[in-house]
Amino acid sequence: MIINSAHGPGGKSKRFELIRTWRDRIFFVGFLLAILIGVAGLAALLIDVLIDGLGFLNWKFLTNYASRKPLESGILAPMAGTVWVVGLTAIFTVPVGIGTAIYLEEFARKNRLTRLIELNISNLAGVPSVIYGLLGLAVFVQFLFNGSRNLTAGALTMTLLILPIVIIASQEAIKAVPSSYRDAAYAMGATRWQVVKTVVMPQAVPGMMSGIILALSRAVGESAPILIISSLVWVTFVPTSPDSKFTVLPLQIFTWVSQPQEDFRSIAAAGIIVLLLILLGMNAVAIWIRNKYQVRSE
Amino acid sequence: MSTNSGSNTASSSDSRLLPDEVLRRRRRQYLEQSIVAWLLRVTALISVLTTIGIVLILVVESVGFFSQVSVWEFVTGREWTPLFKPQKFGALPLIGGTLLVAVIAGLVSLTLGLGAAIFLSEYAPEGVRKILKPVLEILAGIPTVVYGYFALTFITPILQGMFGSDNVIIFNALSAGIVMGLMIMPMVSTLSEDAMIAVPRSLRDAAYALGATRFEVSTKVVIPAALSGIVASFILALSRAIGETMIVKIAAGATPNLTLNPLESIQAMTAYIVQISLGETAHGSIEYQTIFAVGLLLFVMTLAMNILGRVIISRFRQVYE
C-alpha cells in the first residue's frame, strides 16, 4: 500500500490521490453493475416469459392434451406425469435419504469408511444430471424393466439424482439439534435408537422436510434424465399406474421450444409460467416450514 | 423447545418391575436398535452403489464401442459423424463445442459473479445485501429448460441484431454460453463471497489504517487472501457448465463443429447424448454405445474438475486464528 500523504501537498502526489479516489469510485460502480446485470438478467427472463406466454394461459391449456395444433395444446398429460414422478420420487427418496443421514450422523463411527461415504455423496452431487439419465436407461429401463420406459424407472432415476441433496440437507438438520438434548436422554439410560427416535428426529424433521421439498423442486424442473428415460414427446394420455409411459412438464416445454412455429414457442412460455409457479409454491412451503419450526438453540 | 422425552421407555419409572423384566425389556431395546442400525447401514450403501453403478455402466457399455474405435481415435479424431456413412468417431468437435460454451459461460460468470461477490462482501450495507443475495440466488433455482428458452427467444435475437442475422446462426454457442454464465453466476458469487467473508476484519482494518481505498482493500488484501476459494468456485461452476444439457441442446445447435467462432452452431457432448436418446437407436448398436462413451468422457472431465475444486478449497484454505 502506498501512502502519499507523507509527501505533503505536492502536485504529483495530489494527482495520484485523485486517481486513486476515482478508481475507487469507478470500480464501485463496476461491482454494483455486475450484480445489477445478474438481477436484470433474471428480470428480463421473467418478463420475456410472461409477455410471450401469459396470453396463452387459460383453463383449456391446463385441461387439454398436447396437440399438433398449438392453440389446442394443453399440459394435462405432462402435469399428471410430473405429479406421478414427484410422488414416487418422494416415496423412494424419503426413507433412503433420511436413513443415510441418520446413519452417518448418529450411528457410524467417524472412521475412514464413513469419510469415504461422505466424500462419495458430495461427489455424486456434482455428477451431471444427464449421466444419471444414462444410468437409469441402462439399469432401470433396460435391466430392471426389460426395455419399458415407465414412470417407476423415471422416479428411481430422479431418486438417485436428488439423493445427495436430501442426505446433505438431512445431515444439516440433524447437526442443528443441540447435543445437550442427546446427552440428557443418554443420561437417562436411553439407547442410541431411542435417542434418535424420541429426541433427535422430532427436532430435525422440519429441517429435513424443507430440504426434501427443495430437492423435489429440483426434480420437478429437471428434464435431461427424464428425456433419456422417457423419450416420449407427444403424449395424449394420463398415466394411471407406476408402469405407465409418461412425460413431464419440462420435457413438454422442451418439445414445444424445439418446434419451429412461433405459436409453439408461446405455448412453451405458457408452460414455463406454470412450471415456475409450481416451483415458487414448493419453495415458499419449504421456507415457511423452515421459519416456523427453526430450532432456536441457545 | 419441548422434546418428546421417551415416555414409553427408559425414562418411565420402572421401580415396580422385577429385575428380570427390566432386563428383558432392555434386551428387546438393544435388539431393536441393532436391526435399525443394520437397515440404516443398507440405506447408506445405496449412495455407494450409485457411484459404482455409474462407473460400471459407463465402462461396460463403452467397452463394445472402444473395441471398434480406439481410445486415441476417439479423443483426437476431428470428425464426428456417427449417424451417417462413412461413420467417423472423433469426439474433438463435441469436446470443442462443450468447452467453447463453457469458456464463454466461465467468462460471463467470473466477471459478474466475482464483481457481485466483491460488492456484497466489501461494499454493500447489510440491508442491501439481505435483499440482493436471495434475488441473485433465484437464478440458481430456475430450471435449465427455461434458460434454454430464454437463450433462444431473447438473447439470440439480440445477438442477431448486434452482429447481423447473416453472421449469427439461430443456434449458436455464444447465446448458450451467455445464458449459462448467468445460470452459474450465483454459484461463483456465493462461494467467492463465503471465501471473502472468511478473511478476518483485522486484515482489512490494517489496510484502511494505512489509507487504502475500498477498491485497494478489495483487490490487494481480500482477493489475494480469498483466492483459493475464488478459484475453486470458478472450477466448480465450470464443471456445472460442462455437464449442463438443456441450454446447449435448445440454443447451441446439433452440428458437431470444431470451431472457435462463438457465432457458429456447435454440438456439445451432453446435447449429443440427448439427441441420440430421442431418436430410434437400437439397444446394443454402436450408435447406442457412443452415448455411453461420450458419457464416460463427460463423467471423467466433471469428476476431475470437482475433485480439483474440492482439493483447492481444503488444501489451500488460509486458516486465520
Percent helix, strand, coil in chain B, to 5, is: 75, 0, 25
Higher pLDDT: A131 or A1? It is A131
SS3 label, residue A241: coil
**B166 with B221, same domain?**
yes
The shortest CB-CB distance from A120 to any of B51, B214, B236 is to B51
Q: Which of A23, A86, A131 to mutate to test the interface with B (most CBs of B within 10 A)?
A: A131
Residues 147..166 of B with a Cβ closer than 8 Å to A: which?
A: 147-150, 152-154
Looking at residue B319, what is its pLDDT?
A: 65
Angle (CA) A73-A78-A82 rounded to 5° is 155
Transcribe A28-65 into DSSP letters: HHHHHHHHHHHHHHHHHHHHHHHHHHGGG-SHHHHHSP
Superfamily of domain A61-293: MetI-like (1.10.3720.10)
The shortest CB-CB distance from A44 to any of B145, B154, B303 is to B154
**B263 with B120, same domain?**
yes
B271 interface with A at CB cutoff 8 Å: no
Exposed/middle/buried for A33, CB within 10 Å: 0-12, 13-18, 19+?
A: middle
Hey, what's the cell of A32? 454494483
Decide if B14 is inside a domain: no
**B215 with B107, same domain?**
yes
The shortest CB-CB distance from B37 to any of A5, A107, A132 is to A107
Question: B139 contacts in A (CB within 8 Å)?
Answer: 38, 41-42
Looking at residue B164, what is its pLDDT?
A: 87
- Among A70-84, A214-228, B24-38, top mean pLDDT goes to A214-228
Tell me which chain B residue has its CA closest to the CA of residue A101.
B44
CA-based nearest residue to A268, from A277, A258, A278: A258
**B132 with B254, same domain?**
yes
Q: Which of A35, A205, A279 to mutate to test the interface with B (most CBs of B within 10 A)?
A: A35
Looking at residue B15, what is its pLDDT?
A: 55
Looking at residue B5, what is its pLDDT?
A: 41
**B97 with B206, same domain?**
yes
The shortest CB-CB distance from A194 to any of B10, B115, B212 is to B10
CATH number (domain holding residue B176): 1.10.3720.10
Mean pLDDT, to the nearest integer, of A161-189? Answer: 94
**B26 with B101, same domain?**
no
Q: How far apart are CA A13 and CA A4, in angstroms?
A: 6
Low-confidence ranges of chain B (pLDDT < 70): 1-17, 317-321
Residues 192..231 of B with a Cβ closer than 8 Å to A: which?
A: 207, 210-216, 218, 220
**B254 with B113, same domain?**
yes
Hey, what's the cell of A223? 428434464
**B136 with B279, same domain?**
yes
Instruction: Count contacts between A and B (CB, < 8 Å).
Output: 299
Tell me which chain A residue has its CA closest to the CA of residue B149.
A257
Transcribe A103-133 into DSSP letters: IIIIIS-SSHHHHHHHHHHHHHTTS-HHHHH
Domain locations in chain A as residue ranges: 12-44, 61-293
Longest dimension (CA), chain B: 92
Total count of domains within chain B:
2
Decide if B320 is inside a domain: no
- Contact status, residue B187 vs residue B240, Cβ threshold 8 Å: yes
Residues 274..313 of B with a Cβ closer than 8 Å to A: which?
A: 274, 277-278, 283, 291-292, 295, 298-299, 302-303, 306-307, 310
**B180 with B212, same domain?**
yes
Tell me which chain B residue has its CA closest to the CA of residue A36.
B116
Task: State how far residue A255 is from chain B, nearest Cα, in angstroms.
Answer: 10
Residues 201..240 of A with a Cβ closer than 8 Å to B: which?
A: 202-203, 217, 220-224, 227-228, 231, 233
Decide if B197 is inside a domain: yes
The shortest CB-CB distance from B119 to any of A32, A257, A268 is to A32
Q: Is the dihedral of CA A135, A140, A142, A148 positive or negative?
A: negative
CA-based nearest residue to A51, from A258, A265, A282, A220: A265
**B110 with B160, same domain?**
yes
A1 interface with B at CB cutoff 8 Å: yes
User: Mean pLDDT lowest for which of A149-158, A254-263, B173-182?
Assistant: A254-263
| b (16+ CB within 10 A) / e for B164-202 | eeeebbebbbbbbbbbbbbbbbbbbbbbbbebbeebeee
Residue A160: CB atoms within 10 A of its CB come to 26
Mean pLDDT, to the nearest integer, of A2-9? Answer: 49
Instruction: Find the domain containing B30 and state its range.
Output: 19-68
Looking at residue A130, what is its pLDDT?
A: 96
- Cα-trace Rg, chain B: 27
Decide if B5 is inside a domain: no
**B145 with B242, same domain?**
yes
ipTM for the assembly: 0.90
Query: H or E stretch including B81?
Result: strand B80-81
B32 interface with A at CB cutoff 8 Å: yes
CB contact under 8 A, A254 and B148: yes
**B222 with B252, same domain?**
yes
Task: State how far residue A122 is from chain B, nearest Cα, in angstroms.
Answer: 9
Looking at residue B11, what is its pLDDT?
A: 44
Hey, what's the cell of A295? 430450532
CB contact under 8 A, A34 and B119: yes
Question: A147 contacts in B (CB within 8 Å)?
Answer: 283
For the cut 60, the answer to whether the pLDDT of residue A297 exceeds it is no
Task: State how far residue B220 is from chain A, nearest Cα, in angstroms.
Answer: 8
